[in-house]
Structure formats: C-alpha cells, structure tokens
C-alpha cells in the first residue's frame, strides 16, 4: 500500500496555445487540432485574423473561423503538418506548411485532404505567434 494517490486531484491547465518559438507553431497548431475544439484552435489567431478555407472564400472573426474548423473536426481524422519554409522578419513571419488529413471519416467515407499553406504570423505583445492570415491551400485557394 502506498501513502499517496496516483490519481490527479485537479486536471492540469490546458497547455495548448500559441507558442513563443515560431519554429514550433505548426506542431502546436496540430496539437490544437487534435484537441477537437474549434475554440482551442482559435487561440492561434489574432482577433481580426483572416482564414481562407477555399477558393474565393474568406472568414474573419471567431465565429466564422469556428464554423470552418467545426466542419473539418467533424471528420474525426487527425491532421499532419510539416513546416516547409519559415521566414521571420522581426515580428512578422511567412510560414509555408505541408498538411494533410487522410483516413476514414466518422461518416464512413475515405478522406484525403491536403495542401501547402501560405500563412502570415505575427508575434504579439505577449511574445506568442498567431495567424494574421491562414491560407491552408496557398496558391490553389
């Protein structure tokens, strides 16, 4: 018998959020996506940030971005990311990331979504990098 309980008494604070190291941004965003919460994903955006979910579309504001992410999260397929290029100039960065969602969707059909994002990030006064423009399909959008 031990004299301590291995069950945590309090859940740890949610550690998923924007990062201070721009090279860790894609991996942190992938973790936010894996949380299954569009609210957690939106922590990676400045309040007025623009999301371009498809050709001719743009969404700004938390509610509009959330509707786009809720659609993707509904498939129940994880997102993979790999940074291809990251160019930082002071508090602004251009991030080019290969991403994919491949597998069987919750709805039972095969899913193969992928792209090369072209994103603009900005370091906030708190030192954390957030999207100003999230363009997941890059030049194809």
Separation between Cα atoms, residue 26 and residue 107, nearest integer Å? 27
The separation between CA 85 and the C-alpha centre of its own chain, rounded to angstroms, equals: 17
pLDDT reported for residue 16: 86
The percent helix, strand, coil of the chain (3-state, each to 5) is: 25, 35, 40
User: pTM score, two decimals?
Assistant: 0.85
pLDDT reported for residue 119: 97
SS3 (DSSP) at 116: strand
Q: Find the mean pLDDT for residues 25-52.
A: 95
Residue with tokens 């603009």: 120
């Amino acid at each position: 018998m031990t004299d301590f309980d291995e069950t945590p008494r309090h859940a740890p604070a949610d550690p998923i959020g924007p990062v201070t190291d721009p090279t860790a941004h894609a991996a942190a965003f992938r973790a936010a996506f894996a949380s299954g919460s569009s609210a957690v994903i939106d922590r990676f955006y400045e309040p007025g940030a623009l999301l371009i979910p498809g050709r001719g579309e743009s969404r700004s504001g938390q509610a509009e971005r959330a509707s786009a992410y809720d659609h993707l999260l509904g498939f129940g397929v994880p997102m993979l990311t790999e940074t291809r290029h990251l160019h930082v100039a002071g508090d602004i960065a251009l991030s080019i990331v290969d991403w994919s969602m491949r597998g069987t969707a919750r709805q039972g059909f095969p899913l193969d979504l992928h792209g090369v994002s072209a994103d603009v990030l900005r370091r906030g006064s708190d030192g954390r990098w957030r999207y100003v423009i999230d363009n997941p399909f890059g030049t194809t959008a």
